[in-house]
Amino acid sequence: MEAEGTKWGRTVAAAVVALAALSAAAAFSASISWKRRCRLLASRIGKLEAQLKASQDKGATERRGRVRAQQALREALTQQSNGGSKTESGFSMPSSSYPMAPIGTVSSCFSTRNGTPRQPLLVPLARACLVLDASRVPPSSLEGLAEYSHCWVLYIFHLNTDLEKLWRDPSRSKFKAKVRVPRLEGGKKGVLATRSPHRPCPIGLTVAKVEAVDGHAVLLSGVDLVDGTPVLDIKPYLPYSDCIQGATVPAWIAVFPLPFCK
Protein backbone atom coordinates (compact mmCIF):
# COMPACT_ATOMS: atom_id res chain seq x y z
CA MET A 1 0.00 0.00 0.00
CA GLU A 2 2.81 2.34 0.93
CA ALA A 3 4.64 1.45 -2.29
CA GLU A 4 1.58 2.27 -4.36
CA GLY A 5 1.23 5.65 -2.62
CA THR A 6 4.84 6.46 -3.31
CA LYS A 7 4.42 5.50 -6.95
CA TRP A 8 1.31 7.66 -7.24
CA GLY A 9 3.13 10.59 -5.70
CA ARG A 10 5.97 10.24 -8.16
CA THR A 11 3.50 10.10 -11.04
CA VAL A 12 1.79 13.29 -9.86
CA ALA A 13 5.15 15.00 -9.43
CA ALA A 14 6.19 13.96 -12.92
CA ALA A 15 2.92 15.27 -14.31
CA VAL A 16 3.41 18.59 -12.54
CA VAL A 17 6.93 18.86 -13.90
CA ALA A 18 5.70 18.02 -17.37
CA LEU A 19 2.95 20.65 -17.19
CA ALA A 20 5.43 23.20 -15.93
CA ALA A 21 7.74 22.37 -18.79
CA LEU A 22 4.89 22.69 -21.29
CA SER A 23 3.85 26.00 -19.77
CA ALA A 24 7.40 27.29 -19.95
CA ALA A 25 7.72 26.14 -23.53
CA ALA A 26 4.41 27.79 -24.44
CA ALA A 27 5.45 31.02 -22.71
CA PHE A 28 8.81 30.98 -24.47
CA SER A 29 7.12 30.35 -27.80
CA ALA A 30 4.63 33.17 -27.16
CA SER A 31 7.49 35.49 -26.20
CA ILE A 32 9.36 34.65 -29.39
CA SER A 33 6.19 35.18 -31.43
CA TRP A 34 5.46 38.51 -29.69
CA LYS A 35 9.00 39.76 -30.25
CA ARG A 36 8.80 38.75 -33.92
CA ARG A 37 5.47 40.57 -34.26
CA CYS A 38 6.89 43.65 -32.55
CA ARG A 39 9.84 43.64 -34.96
CA LEU A 40 7.48 43.35 -37.92
CA LEU A 41 5.30 46.19 -36.61
CA ALA A 42 8.36 48.33 -35.92
CA SER A 43 9.61 47.67 -39.43
CA ARG A 44 6.22 48.55 -40.90
CA ILE A 45 6.00 51.71 -38.81
CA GLY A 46 9.47 52.71 -39.95
CA LYS A 47 8.53 52.19 -43.61
CA LEU A 48 5.29 54.15 -43.20
CA GLU A 49 7.11 57.01 -41.46
CA ALA A 50 9.68 57.05 -44.26
CA GLN A 51 6.90 57.11 -46.87
CA LEU A 52 5.14 59.92 -44.99
CA LYS A 53 8.33 61.97 -44.78
CA ALA A 54 9.02 61.40 -48.46
CA SER A 55 5.47 62.48 -49.29
CA GLN A 56 5.81 65.60 -47.11
CA ASP A 57 9.16 66.46 -48.67
CA LYS A 58 7.66 66.01 -52.12
CA GLY A 59 4.69 68.18 -51.19
CA ALA A 60 6.97 70.90 -49.79
CA THR A 61 9.10 70.78 -52.94
CA GLU A 62 6.00 71.03 -55.11
CA ARG A 63 4.72 73.98 -53.05
CA ARG A 64 8.05 75.79 -53.36
CA GLY A 65 8.07 75.14 -57.09
CA ARG A 66 4.48 76.35 -57.41
CA VAL A 67 5.24 79.51 -55.42
CA ARG A 68 8.31 80.24 -57.57
CA ALA A 69 6.26 79.71 -60.72
CA GLN A 70 3.52 82.03 -59.46
CA GLN A 71 6.09 84.69 -58.56
CA ALA A 72 7.72 84.41 -61.98
CA LEU A 73 4.34 84.65 -63.70
CA ARG A 74 3.36 87.69 -61.66
CA GLU A 75 6.66 89.40 -62.46
CA ALA A 76 6.28 88.60 -66.17
CA LEU A 77 2.74 89.97 -66.23
CA THR A 78 3.89 93.11 -64.42
CA GLN A 79 6.74 93.66 -66.86
CA GLN A 80 4.39 93.06 -69.77
CA SER A 81 1.93 95.62 -68.45
CA ASN A 82 4.57 98.38 -68.24
CA GLY A 83 6.74 97.35 -71.16
CA GLY A 84 9.38 95.80 -68.94
CA SER A 85 10.43 99.17 -67.56
CA LYS A 86 11.86 99.72 -64.12
CA THR A 87 12.22 102.76 -61.91
CA GLU A 88 15.54 104.28 -60.82
CA SER A 89 15.42 102.15 -57.69
CA GLY A 90 15.20 99.03 -59.82
CA PHE A 91 11.65 98.16 -58.84
CA SER A 92 9.06 97.59 -61.50
CA MET A 93 6.09 99.93 -61.28
CA PRO A 94 3.04 98.40 -62.98
CA SER A 95 0.83 100.87 -64.79
CA SER A 96 -2.09 98.52 -65.34
CA SER A 97 -4.74 97.66 -62.81
CA TYR A 98 -4.73 94.59 -60.61
CA PRO A 99 -7.52 92.02 -60.98
CA MET A 100 -9.88 93.46 -58.39
CA ALA A 101 -13.61 94.03 -58.58
CA PRO A 102 -16.25 95.10 -56.05
CA ILE A 103 -17.67 92.30 -53.94
CA GLY A 104 -20.87 94.15 -53.15
CA THR A 105 -22.80 97.42 -53.13
CA VAL A 106 -24.08 99.65 -50.35
CA SER A 107 -27.70 100.73 -50.15
CA SER A 108 -27.56 103.82 -47.97
CA CYS A 109 -29.91 106.44 -46.56
CA PHE A 110 -27.68 109.10 -48.16
CA SER A 111 -28.67 109.52 -51.81
CA THR A 112 -26.17 112.26 -52.74
CA ARG A 113 -22.65 113.28 -51.79
CA ASN A 114 -23.92 116.50 -50.28
CA GLY A 115 -25.32 115.63 -46.89
CA THR A 116 -23.29 112.47 -46.47
CA PRO A 117 -21.19 112.65 -43.27
CA ARG A 118 -17.50 113.34 -43.82
CA GLN A 119 -16.44 110.75 -41.24
CA PRO A 120 -17.90 107.50 -39.87
CA LEU A 121 -19.94 107.23 -36.67
CA LEU A 122 -20.80 110.96 -36.69
CA VAL A 123 -24.42 109.97 -37.34
CA PRO A 124 -24.96 106.81 -35.25
CA LEU A 125 -28.53 106.33 -36.50
CA ALA A 126 -27.53 106.37 -40.18
CA ARG A 127 -28.33 102.98 -41.69
CA ALA A 128 -26.97 101.15 -44.71
CA CYS A 129 -27.17 97.64 -46.11
CA LEU A 130 -24.15 96.08 -47.73
CA VAL A 131 -25.28 93.43 -50.20
CA LEU A 132 -22.65 91.03 -51.49
CA ASP A 133 -22.56 89.84 -55.07
CA ALA A 134 -23.73 86.25 -54.53
CA SER A 135 -22.22 85.17 -57.87
CA ARG A 136 -18.74 86.02 -56.59
CA VAL A 137 -18.96 85.83 -52.80
CA PRO A 138 -21.01 83.07 -51.12
CA PRO A 139 -23.07 84.00 -48.03
CA SER A 140 -20.94 81.63 -45.94
CA SER A 141 -18.11 84.17 -46.30
CA LEU A 142 -19.94 86.29 -43.73
CA GLU A 143 -20.13 83.53 -41.14
CA GLY A 144 -18.78 84.88 -37.84
CA LEU A 145 -18.93 88.59 -38.77
CA ALA A 146 -22.00 89.13 -36.57
CA GLU A 147 -19.86 88.25 -33.55
CA TYR A 148 -18.00 91.56 -33.98
CA SER A 149 -19.47 94.92 -33.02
CA HIS A 150 -17.80 96.88 -35.84
CA CYS A 151 -16.14 96.29 -39.18
CA TRP A 152 -13.93 98.12 -41.64
CA VAL A 153 -15.31 98.77 -45.11
CA LEU A 154 -12.95 99.31 -48.04
CA TYR A 155 -14.78 101.02 -50.89
CA ILE A 156 -14.48 103.09 -54.08
CA PHE A 157 -15.27 106.80 -54.39
CA HIS A 158 -17.48 106.04 -57.38
CA LEU A 159 -18.98 109.53 -57.65
CA ASN A 160 -15.66 111.33 -58.15
CA THR A 161 -15.98 113.65 -61.14
CA ASP A 162 -12.55 112.63 -62.45
CA LEU A 163 -13.14 108.90 -62.17
CA GLU A 164 -13.92 108.55 -65.87
CA LYS A 165 -10.50 109.94 -66.83
CA LEU A 166 -8.77 107.65 -64.37
CA TRP A 167 -10.70 104.71 -65.74
CA ARG A 168 -9.92 105.51 -69.35
CA ASP A 169 -6.17 106.04 -68.98
CA PRO A 170 -4.72 105.68 -65.46
CA SER A 171 -1.18 106.56 -66.61
CA ARG A 172 -2.25 109.98 -67.89
CA SER A 173 -4.75 110.81 -65.21
CA LYS A 174 -3.63 113.75 -63.08
CA PHE A 175 -4.62 114.55 -59.53
CA LYS A 176 -4.04 117.52 -57.29
CA ALA A 177 -1.10 116.93 -54.98
CA LYS A 178 -2.57 119.39 -52.48
CA VAL A 179 -6.19 119.86 -51.55
CA ARG A 180 -8.10 122.38 -49.47
CA VAL A 181 -8.93 121.15 -45.99
CA PRO A 182 -12.29 122.32 -44.57
CA ARG A 183 -10.92 122.63 -41.04
CA LEU A 184 -8.11 124.91 -42.24
CA GLU A 185 -10.57 127.39 -43.77
CA GLY A 186 -9.04 127.23 -47.22
CA GLY A 187 -5.58 126.05 -46.24
CA LYS A 188 -4.03 123.20 -48.21
CA LYS A 189 -2.35 119.93 -47.27
CA GLY A 190 -0.91 117.06 -49.24
CA VAL A 191 -3.73 114.84 -50.46
CA LEU A 192 -2.19 111.77 -48.80
CA ALA A 193 -2.22 113.63 -45.47
CA THR A 194 -5.98 114.07 -45.73
CA ARG A 195 -9.05 111.95 -46.28
CA SER A 196 -10.05 113.67 -49.48
CA PRO A 197 -11.93 111.40 -51.91
CA HIS A 198 -9.86 112.78 -54.81
CA ARG A 199 -6.79 110.58 -54.49
CA PRO A 200 -4.29 108.84 -56.80
CA CYS A 201 -6.35 105.70 -56.20
CA PRO A 202 -9.95 106.63 -55.28
CA ILE A 203 -10.25 104.12 -52.46
CA GLY A 204 -11.87 104.91 -49.12
CA LEU A 205 -11.78 103.25 -45.72
CA THR A 206 -14.50 103.59 -43.11
CA VAL A 207 -15.68 101.87 -39.96
CA ALA A 208 -19.28 100.97 -39.20
CA LYS A 209 -21.29 99.19 -36.55
CA VAL A 210 -22.49 95.71 -37.47
CA GLU A 211 -26.18 95.56 -36.64
CA ALA A 212 -27.03 92.23 -38.25
CA VAL A 213 -25.97 89.71 -40.87
CA ASP A 214 -28.64 88.04 -42.97
CA GLY A 215 -27.64 85.76 -45.82
CA HIS A 216 -25.46 87.78 -48.17
CA ALA A 217 -26.44 91.14 -46.62
CA VAL A 218 -24.89 93.10 -43.74
CA LEU A 219 -26.92 95.78 -41.95
CA LEU A 220 -24.64 98.62 -40.82
CA SER A 221 -25.10 101.79 -38.76
CA GLY A 222 -23.03 104.93 -38.31
CA VAL A 223 -22.01 104.82 -41.97
CA ASP A 224 -20.70 107.70 -44.06
CA LEU A 225 -21.29 106.02 -47.43
CA VAL A 226 -23.45 107.34 -50.23
CA ASP A 227 -26.04 105.08 -51.83
CA GLY A 228 -24.61 102.78 -54.51
CA THR A 229 -21.05 102.75 -53.16
CA PRO A 230 -19.08 99.76 -54.53
CA VAL A 231 -17.32 97.80 -51.78
CA LEU A 232 -13.97 96.07 -52.31
CA ASP A 233 -13.64 94.32 -48.95
CA ILE A 234 -14.83 94.20 -45.35
CA LYS A 235 -12.76 93.24 -42.33
CA PRO A 236 -13.64 92.90 -38.64
CA TYR A 237 -12.59 95.73 -36.34
CA LEU A 238 -10.05 94.48 -33.77
CA PRO A 239 -9.64 96.81 -30.76
CA TYR A 240 -6.32 95.30 -29.67
CA SER A 241 -4.65 96.18 -32.98
CA ASP A 242 -6.85 98.84 -34.60
CA CYS A 243 -6.99 101.14 -31.57
CA ILE A 244 -3.57 102.74 -31.05
CA GLN A 245 -3.04 104.21 -27.61
CA GLY A 246 -1.18 107.52 -27.62
CA ALA A 247 -1.78 108.22 -31.32
CA THR A 248 -1.15 111.86 -32.24
CA VAL A 249 -2.66 114.15 -34.88
CA PRO A 250 -1.76 117.59 -36.28
CA ALA A 251 -2.78 120.65 -34.31
CA TRP A 252 -5.44 121.61 -36.87
CA ILE A 253 -7.23 118.33 -36.11
CA ALA A 254 -6.54 118.29 -32.37
CA VAL A 255 -8.56 121.50 -31.90
CA PHE A 256 -11.63 119.36 -32.51
CA PRO A 257 -11.32 116.92 -29.60
CA LEU A 258 -12.92 113.54 -29.98
CA PRO A 259 -12.75 110.71 -27.43
CA PHE A 260 -9.88 108.34 -28.07
CA CYS A 261 -10.42 104.63 -27.75
CA LYS A 262 -9.83 103.18 -24.34
Write the pLDDT tens digit of every residue in 3-40: 555 666 666 666 666 677 777 777 777 778 888 888 88
pLDDT surpassing 80 at residue 82? no
- Which one of 2.40.50.140, 3.60.15.10, 2.40.30.70, 2.60.40.10 gives the CATH number of domain 104-160+202-239? 2.40.30.70
pLDDT surpassing 60 at residue 91? no
Share of the chain above pLDDT 70, in %: 77
Predicted local confidence at residue 100, as pLDDT: 84
Predicted local confidence at residue 88, as pLDDT: 46
Sign of the torsion angle spanned by Cα atoms 84, 89, 95, 97: positive
CB 67 within 8 A of CB 59: no
By residue count, the chain amounts to 262
HEC profile of 162-210: CHHHHHHCCCCCCCCCEEECHHHCCCEEEHHHCCCCCCCCCEEEEEEEE
Predicted local confidence at residue 256, as pLDDT: 56
pLDDT surpassing 80 at residue 154? yes
Sign of the torsion angle spanned by Cα atoms 180, 182, 185, 189: negative
Name the residue ranges covered by the structural domains of the chain: 1-87, 104-160+202-239
